[in-house]
Amino acid sequence: MAGAGEFFLHTDWKEIIGILNADKCDVEILTNGLVLDHAHIDYIWTQTSVKMLQFSMDAADGDCYYNIRGSTQFSRIKNILRYTCSHPERKVVRLSFVVMNENLKHIVSFVHFASEMGADGVLYQHMHNRPLITTKRANGFVFDESQHPNKSERKRLILKAVSVAKRLDIFVQLNQMPEIEISDEDYYRCKSKYYRHEDSDFGIQSPCCLPWTMINRTLEGSWRVCCMSEMNSHLGGKNATLQEAWNSKEIQEIRRKLLQGKCPQECMPEFCDVASELKKAH
């Protein structure tokens, strides 16, 4: 469960997880953690099939957290993180970090921070200029291009973070940074039995596994392959059910194109580095 919003703000979040539980789905949730308390964490770890909680942090200290996320709740988040990670029924806990100029110098300390909190690992993410947040619907939000970091400096610091993570026995994962190569052993090493190497790609030889692992629901209620794809792609038609979208001819064509190493027309090279690389190659 991810998206352009905080999942735990939905008043029916327990019911939503319950439906997925009943269908025996593994659930992974991305959250900023700000509305969670100890009772919620007890519920999530003991009453649901949630196998991973990812906390969006982007920072390893309170000042940086405030500058990026605009919240003064860093101490509170640390308390929730410690509780989440020390819970006897815990599954995987991952901390995410969108790399930008504001936090570039914190890349390595973020690994120390994650280890100190007791997390299993960290995810470094490329900063996307998403179509959704550049529209007028987002209160005139203007994407700050100046925050795009220098890619070679990003690579240097992330490789350093990987060697620190190895020593601290936590994993590092990357999203949308094809220029950085990390060995499989380092990339997926994780203490938890719930998150294995084979979970990562399901044996699929594709430059992007998202069309096989997730689907994105738009604000209008239709479906697209991911949040960096064409807003109006409407997989399976505008009113398709999840099942119809997941098995639609459009998504099958996207999968076929990716397996051929080509850029599907729904994937937008201006927002997605993988799509951009595929476009360049053809």
**Residues within the interface to ligand SF4 (CB under 6 A):** 208, 210-211, 225-226, 228-229, 267, 272, 274-275
* Angle 191-162-117 from CA coordinates, rounded to 5°: 50
Contact of 98 with 58, CB cutoff 8 Å: yes
CB of 269 to ligand SF4, least distance (A): 8
CB of 208 to ligand SF4, least distance (A): 3
Contact of 68 with 102, CB cutoff 8 Å: yes
CB of 177 to ligand SF4, least distance (A): 12
Burial of 225 (0-12, 13-18, 19+ CB in 10 A): buried
CB of 139 to ligand SF4, least distance (A): 25
What's the sign of the alpha-carbon dihedral 200, 225, 228, 9? negative
Interatomic CA distance for residues 249 and 255, integer angstroms: 10
CB of 206 to ligand SF4, least distance (A): 9
Of 161 and 278, CB closest to ligand SF4:
278
Contact of 42 with 80, CB cutoff 8 Å: no
Using the 8-state DSSP alphabet, how is residue 267 labeled? Answer: B
Of 80 and 225, CB closest to ligand SF4:
225
* Exposure string over 128-163, b if 16+ CB within 10 A, otherwise e: bebbbeeeeeeeeeeeeeebebeeeebeebbeebbe
Of 170 and 177, CB closest to ligand SF4:
177
CB of 278 to ligand SF4, least distance (A): 7
Of 85 and 225, CB closest to ligand SF4:
225
Of 36 and 240, CB closest to ligand SF4:
240
Of 85 and 132, CB closest to ligand SF4:
132
**Tokens encoding 68:** 């990026």
Of 169 and 270, CB closest to ligand SF4:
270
CB of 274 to ligand SF4, least distance (A): 4
Interatomic CA distance for residues 107 and 124, integer angstroms: 8
**What angle do the packed helices 107-117 and 74-86 form, to 10 degrees?**
50
